Amino acid sequence: MSHHDVVVVGTGLAGLTAAVRLAEDGARVLVLAKGVGATHLSAGTIDVLGYAPERVDRPAEALGALVDARPGHPYALVGAGGVAAAVDWFKARIAAGPLAPYAYAGGVEENLLLPTAVGVARPSAVVPETMAGGDLRRDAAICIVGFRALKDFHPALAADMLTRAGVRARGVELDLVPEGRVDVNALGFARAFDAPAFRAEVKAQVVAQLGVEERAAFPAVLGIADPHGAWTELEHGLGRAVFEIPTLPPSVPGMRVHKSLHETLRRAGGRVILNAVVTGAEHRGGHVSALRIRVGLREERRGADWVVLATGGLASGGIELDSRWKARETALGLPVTGVPEPGAERFRPGYFEDHPMARAGVAVDHGLRPVDGGGERLYENVLVAGATLAGAEPWREKCGDGLSLSTGYRAAELVLAASTAAGAAAGVAGS
């Protein structure tokens, strides 16, 4: 049985953040995950707090009020200062990562207002540099450029919705198809945009269609290997601000985040094993000593001093409900709180309503350790981060990635602090 300092379960934003932060401080880190997480589906923006419940303009300020009013919210465990520290760390890692000089813009002080693919304004705090030019608080007309072959991105629809909201916008569509393929998704277009010849063709077709004062919007497919190159080349070539609008899955900006953090982890000596499902744990008293894992058809055991559980909750299979609505935490069998009683209301009709089911998850104490129904710490060496945590409503509050980033970062800081303290105590005992 191999042994690591830390095993992180899950390779979403929370798991990768914890893993990178730990590995860069010298910990021997192994990440085990069933598959990739929500990075490949969501917008690739770090939405810190979009609604509380009204639209938030200044997230840092609103976070203070939120944690005062909702002490059970996971943000109360990291605080506004902790969120800001995690955001600064994340921005620095992306800017120094394998896609550099691709970088993120913004911060926790204010939300930008970015258009979605259906032309609705969404508040977001920390966004790819390639999206920041779409801030709708700026009064500049927008020409949305789409590709007929890219399904689920319709410039005319987005422009019409924006126009109804008072933004001057219109759409144009190009007939360019990468490599002459019949069915191309966002990733196929992103790969095409990595090639200078495709960028040149797009520029040539678009330039004559743009009004003098219009900024140009594209679906978020401007390169996967060289997004900074593709974006700056279009800005220079078209002589105006160019920005990306997130698409439906797969999410190219989210894949860039995953690639950046994964490669940064590898450079720091950490390792990721995919298709590794954690199915249980062996423990001695209040310590987990080893994890049971299913890798394909093989059963394995992995030992660790620490475990960071970042399995993403209901959306990623970290928490499952059976046909009787009984909830189960799939990796370690931890208790799940906040699930409505049988017969009680679970969901409300409106998508963004306060769904009773939304706050279900694993309850933790101030040290991110899982607790039982009476609030007693279950394991000393297990920390929980990200969407697995109980108490938030990430969809409604628009805080999913801010929460996963900041709690993943906090989990790593707590492990590092505890390891340093244990090391110092051992030094004193040995002297």
Ligand X SMILES: Cc1cc2nc3c(=O)[nH]c(=O)nc-3n(C[C@H](O)[C@H](O)[C@H](O)COP(=O)(O)OP(=O)(O)OC[C@H]3O[C@@H](n4cnc5c(N)ncnc54)[C@H](O)[C@@H]3O)c2cc1C
Residue 311 as a binder of ligand X (CB under 6 A): the answer is yes
Q: Which of 111, 130, 264, 330 binds ligand X (CB under 6 A)?
A: 330
Residue 123 as a binder of ligand X (CB under 6 A): the answer is no
Residue 331 as a binder of ligand X (CB under 6 A): the answer is yes
Please identify, using beta-carbon distances, which residue of 37 and 370 lies nearer to ligand X.
37
Cα separation, 198 vs 101, in Å, equals 21
Q: Which of 59, 318, 361, 391 binds ligand X (CB under 6 A)?
A: 318
Please identify, using beta-carbon distances, which residue of 229 and 312 lies nearer to ligand X.
312
CB 54 within 8 A of CB 92: no
Residue 132 as a binder of ligand X (CB under 6 A): the answer is no
**If DSSP codes are grouped into helix, strand and coil, which group holds residue 198?**
helix
Q: Which of 112, 114, 399, 412 binds ligand X (CB under 6 A)?
A: 399
Residue 401 as a binder of ligand X (CB under 6 A): the answer is yes
Distance of closest approach, residue 288 Cβ to ligand X, in angstroms: 14
Cα separation, 350 vs 421, in Å, equals 48
Q: Which of 6, 7, 8, 14 binds ligand X (CB under 6 A)?
A: 14
Q: Which residue has the tokens 């960071």?
A: 308
Residue 184 as a binder of ligand X (CB under 6 A): the answer is no
Q: Which residue has the tokens 């196929």?
A: 188
Residue 115 as a binder of ligand X (CB under 6 A): the answer is no
Question: 61 φ, ψ to 5°?
Answer: -65, -45
Taking phi over 0 as left and psi of -120 to 50 as alpha, with beta for the rest, 315 belongs to: alpha
Give the contacts of 418 (CB within 8 A, at least 6 positions apart): 306
Residue 387 as a binder of ligand X (CB under 6 A): the answer is yes
Q: Which of 12, 115, 119, 178 binds ligand X (CB under 6 A)?
A: 12
Distance of closest approach, residue 175 Cβ to ligand X, in angstroms: 29
Residue 111 as a binder of ligand X (CB under 6 A): the answer is no
Element (H, E) at 215: strand 215-219
Please identify, using beta-carbon distances, which residue of 381 and 388 lies nearer to ligand X.
388
Residue 154 as a binder of ligand X (CB under 6 A): the answer is no
Residue 15 as a binder of ligand X (CB under 6 A): the answer is yes
Site map (CB under 6 A) of ligand X, residues 261-280, x = contact? ----------------xx--
Residue 416 as a binder of ligand X (CB under 6 A): the answer is no
Q: Which of 400, 409, 415, 419 binds ligand X (CB under 6 A)?
A: 400
Q: Running DSSP on this structure, what letter comes out for residue 44?
A: S
Taking phi over 0 as left and psi of -120 to 50 as alpha, with beta for the rest, 121 belongs to: beta
Q: Which of 5, 25, 28, 41 binds ligand X (CB under 6 A)?
A: 41
Tell me the β-bridge partners of 302. Answer: 2, 291
Please count the other Cβ atoms lying within 10 Å of the Cβ belonging to residue 52: 18
Residues in contact with ligand X, counted by CB under 6 A, come to a total of 38
Residue 118 as a binder of ligand X (CB under 6 A): the answer is no
Cα separation, 154 vs 160, in Å, equals 10
* Interaction residues for ligand X, span 199-258 (CB under 6 A): 249
Distance from chain centroid for Cα 418: 26
Cα separation, 33 vs 19, in Å, equals 12
Element (H, E) at 164: helix 155-164
Distance of closest approach, residue 48 Cβ to ligand X, in angstroms: 8
Q: Which stretch binds ligand X (CB under 6 A): 179-187, 342-350, 368-376, 396-404?
A: 396-404
Cα separation, 1 vs 299, in Å, equals 12
Q: Choose among 386, 275, 290, 262: nearest CA to 329.
A: 386
Residue nearest to ligand X (CB): 12
* Interaction residues for ligand X, span 42-61 (CB under 6 A): 42-43, 47
Tabulate helix, strand, coil % of the chain (nearest 5): 35, 25, 40
Contact residues toward ligand X (CB under 6 A) are 9-15, 32-38, 41-43, 47, 249, 277-278, 310-312, 315-318, 330-331, 386-387, 394, 398-401, 404
